[in-house]
């Protein structure tokens, strides 16, 4: 297949590869971070539109006309996906209804039906319907949708006490970009001669945006922050391998001094750590946990201190340590190194893991295995009598 290549086409191809691989990674990677599924879907939607630009710029559409109207435009999903991402990152309890995605479902159905028609039918539809009418409906519909959802997303970020400046700046930048994109048809009509190819700002900026989102996603997952030093803990040796949640008190006993614990707040924190296994995220902080459960950092800190009678760092390291201890005595220890088990449990360095393990158990991992293994009934230890 002959493909016309120039710098624009090469860059589009580069952005497509980066966007598709990163989008799929965000959807399937474990542990899943807050908002990663929405960001992955948004990135895939952006990248598919870049695929359309690539097929046009490279001449593939011209040489394979049966590809015309291939369902690659899902621009009416960008706004809802962006808002869903922002809400989940900030731990909002409100979730988007499926009704927000009805417009993009109609957009997909529109392209799906047209793509199945004959070439002559597609040509007639392009000349008589899509070129003079429906493409402008799609263009302005996407702009109105994105700007509307951007406004709501900015309000979500603005209400947060610790909004990151970069996200605020990105959302404002997107608003300016889509506002400028609304002028494209007017500029085309005023300055381009009849019959000349139309210019759309999205064809230039969308590949850059898709690449920037993909690169930012990789960097945010690849860079690990230094783990905070754990609080002083008891050095009493123990060989208990039960999950951490089994040893955590449900809440402060009745009659004990201290603040009253909201059972709902405690349940949300324990669910996030125990069932959703957020402790496996090496970048987990008190702020990110608070965003995930939809509470302020102060409330989460007080809930953990009073309800679980431990500090945030002790609780998180307790979950991580319990997972490593359990897997050290199981089949995983025969196929993975101790360091691999520690990293999968959420520790971000060998030094931190060794220090916490020694403080909590009084043993090294190898000593713990040697001491505890004979007490467990498994395939390597004969059952009694």
Name which of 55-69, 157-171, 305-319, 339-353 the model is least confident about: 157-171
Q: Report the share of the chain in percent with pLDDT over 70.
A: 79
Burial state string for 39-54 with b = 16 or more CB within 10 A and e = fewer than 16 = bbbbbbbbbbbbbbbb
Q: What percent of the chain has pLDDT over 90?
A: 19
Residue 65 sits in the same domain as residue 214: yes
Domain shared by 92 and 160, yes or no? yes
Q: For residue 253, what pLDDT band results from cuts at 50, 70 and 90?
A: very low
Residues spanned by the domain of 205: 7-222
Residue pair 328/365 in contact (Cβ under 8 Å)? The answer is yes
Q: Is residue 84 part of a domain?
A: yes
pLDDT-derived band at 238, boundaries 50, 70, 90: very low
Q: Both 180 and 134 in a single domain? A: yes
84 with 191, same domain? yes
Is the same domain home to 77 and 194?
A: yes
Q: Which residue has the higher pLDDT, 115 or 376?
A: 115
pLDDT classification of 85: cutoffs 50, 70, 90: confident
Q: What is the pLDDT of residue 371?
A: 79
Q: What is the pLDDT of residue 383?
A: 39
Look at residues 189, 222, 255 and tell me which one is the last residue of a structural domain.
Answer: 222
pLDDT tens per residue across span 101-122:
999 999 999 999 999 999 899 9
Would 380 be classed as within a structural domain?
A: no
Is 385 within the bounds of a domain? no
Shared domain for 118 and 266, answered yes or no, is no
| Chain CA centroid to CA 357, Å | 30
pLDDT at 228: 37
> What is the pLDDT confidence band of residue 9, given thresholds at 50, 70 and 90?
confident
Clarify whether residues 62 and 192 are in a common domain: yes
Position 306 scores a pLDDT of 86
Residue-level pLDDT at 235: 37
Is 235 part of any domain? Answer: no
Tell me: do 117 and 18 sit in the same domain: yes
The CATH code of the domain that includes 338 is 1.10.10.60
pLDDT value for 252? 44
Q: Are residues 156 and 258 in the same domain?
A: no
- Both 268 and 190 in a single domain? no
Element (DSSP H or E) covering residue 288: helix 286-293
For 309-321, the pLDDT digits (tens) are: 888 888 999 999 9
pTM of the model: 0.58
Check: CB of residue 101 under 8 Å from CB of residue 45: no
Mean pLDDT computed over 126-143: 91
Q: Which of 285, 343, 345, 349 is nearest to 321 (CA)?
A: 345
pLDDT bucket at 183, cuts 50 / 70 / 90: confident
Residues 194-209: tens digit of each pLDDT? 666 666 777 777 788 7
Does residue 301 sit within a domain?
Answer: yes
Estimate the share of the chain in helix, then strand, then coil, as percent rounded to the nearest 5.
70, 0, 30
How far apart CA 27 and CA 266 sit, in angstroms, is 29
174 and 208 housed in the same domain: yes
**Residue 289, in any domain of the structure:** yes
As for how many domains the chain has, the answer is 2
Specify if 54 maps to a domain: yes
Grade residue 237 by pLDDT with cuts at 50, 70 and 90. very low
Average pLDDT over residues 189-193: 74
Cβ–Cβ < 8 Å for 28, 34: no
pLDDT in tens, 297-348: 888 888 898 888 888 888 999 999 999 998 888 888 888 899 889 998 999 8
- Assess whether the previous peptide bond of 31 is cis (omega < 30° from 0): yes
Is residue 74 over pLDDT 90?
Answer: yes
The DSSP result for 149-210, as a single string, is HHHHHHHHHHHSTT--HHHHHHHHHHHHHHHHHTTHHHHHHHHSPTTSPP--HHHHHHHHHH
- Tell me: do 207 and 270 sit in the same domain: no
Residue 106 forms part of a structural domain: yes
User: 222, 257, 287: which is the final residue of a domain?
Assistant: 222
Q: Collapsing DSSP states into helix, strand and coil, what is residue 374?
A: helix
190, 222, 254 - which closes a domain: 222
Determine the number of helices (DSSP H) and then strands (DSSP E) in the chain.
Answer: 19, 0
């Amino acid at each position: 297949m002959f493909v016309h290549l120039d710098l624009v086409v090469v860059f589009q191809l580069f952005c497509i590869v980066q966007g598709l691989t990163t989008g799929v990674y965000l959807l399937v990677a474990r542990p899943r971070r807050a908002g990663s599924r929405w960001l992955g879907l948004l990135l895939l939607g952006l990248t598919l539109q870049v695929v359309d630009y690539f097929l046009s710029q490279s001449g593939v559409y011209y040489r394979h006309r049966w590809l015309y109207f291939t369902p690659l435009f899902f621009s009416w999903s960008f706004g809802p996906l962006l808002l869903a991402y922002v809400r989940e990152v900030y731990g909002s309890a409100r979730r988007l209804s499926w009704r927000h995605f009805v417009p993009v479902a109609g957009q997909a159905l529109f392209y799906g039906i047209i793509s199945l028609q004959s070439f002559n039918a597609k040509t007639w539809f392009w000349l008589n319907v899509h070129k003079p009418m429906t493409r402008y409906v799609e263009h302005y519909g996407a702009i109105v949708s994105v700007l509307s959802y951007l406004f709501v997303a900015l309000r979500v970020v603005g209400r947060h006490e610790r909004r990151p400046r970069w996200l605020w700046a990105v959302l404002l930048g997107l608003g300016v970009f889509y506002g400028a994109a609304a002028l494209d048809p007017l500029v085309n009509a005023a300055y381009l001669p009849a019959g000349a190819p139309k210019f759309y700002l999205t064809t230039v900026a969308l590949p850059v945006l898709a690449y920037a989102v993909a690169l930012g996603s990789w960097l945010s997952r690849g860079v690990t922050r230094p783990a905070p030093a754990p609080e002083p803990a008891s050095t009493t040796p123990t060989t208990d391998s039960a999950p951490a949640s089994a040893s955590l008190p449900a809440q402060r006993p009745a009659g004990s001094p201290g603040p009253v614990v909201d059972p709902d707040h405690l349940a949300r924190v324990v669910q996030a750590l125990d069932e959703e296994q957020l402790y496996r995220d090496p970048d987990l902080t008190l702020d990110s946990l608070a965003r995930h459960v939809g509470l302020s950092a102060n409330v989460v800190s007080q809930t953990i201190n009073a309800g679980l009678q431990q500090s945030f760092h002790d609780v998180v390291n307790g979950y991580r340590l319990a997972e490593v201890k359990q897997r050290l005595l199981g089949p995983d220890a025969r196929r993975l190194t101790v360091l691999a088990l520690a990293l999968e449990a959420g520790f971000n360095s060998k030094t931190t893991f060794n220090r916490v393990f020694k403080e909590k158990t009084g043993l090294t991992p190898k000593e713990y295995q040697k001491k505890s293994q004979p007490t467990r009934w498994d395939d390597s230890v004969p059952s009694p009598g």
